[in-house]
């Protein structure tokens, strides 16, 4: 597995950096939780970034890299599913291209970006289906601590059930999207904390020079790097086991990283003046998705067992 980018991928990442630059810092007068940018989403669509996964010489791994990079922005938009879910949706029998934005609703709970979604993946236990809500069939919730726009889906919306085969394929790519987005959120949270501990002084020196903090930052950086590489490997292989392992490591690591980053940031980490909450609170939302860590662990174990061959004497 070679993660060296080709010339076309390098050109795409360069253009993505240019597009992301105006959204790299939050507004001075922003004191909320869900910093959503319709402009960011519109520019990504106009520039063709949502088609990366289906482009020759690009593919899902380039889309996963874009998701990871864009998740580092303080602004958010429905990006991860729009970039990675079409890989699975293209396999549906009717061949119809489903409209974006996408959202996921699990067991009737509120979901991210549901209010603006044109296609909703509905998960009810082990059954997956697809819904296309119309005006008045979603209910937006007040500004969410999860730092995403949250909404409920009306129970009256018709849901088209998917076969178990298609359902598992969609779950695979939902896990890859979760891990890729989580990797970006982790990096942004760590970067914000490193900046803070580099200027915050105690005992006449920046607290980031103390060995105990350095060790913890190093450990968290290793965890975040592992999530990134597992997400990219899963996007490259499209393997269900790789996807479950990437999502599991992401959800497991997020709790540790969110705790450590807030503790190192002290009181500032709990204020709206510091952007840390924009990434750690989003991580909290992703931790609970797709059944949470226990579901990813069971899936990872299941697919790993399927891949093993045993010689029983």
Rounded to an integer, the average pLDDT of 227-253 is 95
DSSP, residue by residue, 10-49? HHHHHHHHHHHGGGSS--TT--SS--B-HHHHHHHHHTTG
pLDDT tens-digit readout, 165-186: 999 999 999 999 999 999 999 9
Q: pTM of the predicted model, to two decimals? A: 0.92
Total number of domains constituting the chain: 1
Please choose, from the candidates 199, 186, 196, the residue with its C-alpha nearest in 3D space to the C-alpha of residue 263: 196
Which range is most confident: 74-83, 190-199, 261-270? 74-83
Write the CATH number for 259: 1.20.140.10
Residue 33 in domain: no
Does residue 271 belong to any structural domain of this protein? yes
- Does a structural domain hold residue 206? yes
Structure tokens at 85: 């879910």
- Residue 262 is part of which domain span? 166-307
SS3 231: helix
Q: d(Cα 81, Cα 279) in Å, to the nearest integer?
A: 18
pLDDT at 245: 96
pLDDT at 208: 67
Span of 43-52, 93-102, 238-247 with lowest mean pLDDT: 93-102
- Would you state the pLDDT for residue 312? 45
How many percent of the chain have pLDDT more than 90?
65
Look at residue 74 and tell me if it is in a domain.
no
Task: Tell me if 125 is assigned to some domain.
Answer: no
Q: Name 303's Cβ contacts closer than 8 Å, sequence gap at least 6.
A: 239, 240, 241, 244
Residues of the chain above pLDDT 70, percent: 93
62 in a structural domain: no
Closest CA to 42 of 8, 79, 74: 79
Residue 51 falls within a domain, yes or no? no
Mean pLDDT of 43-48: 95
48 in the Ramachandran plot: left (φ > 0), alpha (ψ -120 to 50) or beta? left
Residue 44 within any structural domain of the chain: no
Band of pLDDT at residue 279, cut at 50, 70 and 90: very high
The yes-or-no verdict on residue 223 having pLDDT over 90 is yes
């Amino acid at each position: 597995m070679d993660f060296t980018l080709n010339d076309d991928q390098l050109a795409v990442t360069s253009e993505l950096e240019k597009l992301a630059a105006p959204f790299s810092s939050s507004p001075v007068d922003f004191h909320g939780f869900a910093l959503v940018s319709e402009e960011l989403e519109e520019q990504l669509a106009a520039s063709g970034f949502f088609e990366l996964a289906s482009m020759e010489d690009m593919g899902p791994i380039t889309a996963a890299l874009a998701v990871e990079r864009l998740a580092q922005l303080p602004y958010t938009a429905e990006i991860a599913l729009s970039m990675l879910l079409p890989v699975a949706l293209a396999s549906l029998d009717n061949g119809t291209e489903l409209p974006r934005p996408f959202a996921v609703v699990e067991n009737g709970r509120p979901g991210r970006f549901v209010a603006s979604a044109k296609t909703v993946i509905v998960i009810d236990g082990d059954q997956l289906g697809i819904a296309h809500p119309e005006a008045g069939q979603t209910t937006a919730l007040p500004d969410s601590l999860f730092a995403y726009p949250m909404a409920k889906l009306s129970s009256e919306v018709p849901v088209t059930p998917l076969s178990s085969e298609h359902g598992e394929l969609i779950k695979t790519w939902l896990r890859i999207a979760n891990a890729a987005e989580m990797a970006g959120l982790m990096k942004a949270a760590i970067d914000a904390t490193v900046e803070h501990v580099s200027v915050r002084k105690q005992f006449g020196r920046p607290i980031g020079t103390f060995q105990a903090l350095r060790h913890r930052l190093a450990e968290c950086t290793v965890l975040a790097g592992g999530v990134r590489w597992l997400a990219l490997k899963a996007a490259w292989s499209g393997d269900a086991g790789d996807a479950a392992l990437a999502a599991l490591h992401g959800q497991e690591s997020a709790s540790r990283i969110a705790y450590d980053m807030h503790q190192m940031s002290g009181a500032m980490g709990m204020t709206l003046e510091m952007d840390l909450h924009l990434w750690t609170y989003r991580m909290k939302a992703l931790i609970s998705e797709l059944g949470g860590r226990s579901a990813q662990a069971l899936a990872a174990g299941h697919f790993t067992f399927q891949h093993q061959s045993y010689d029983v004497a």
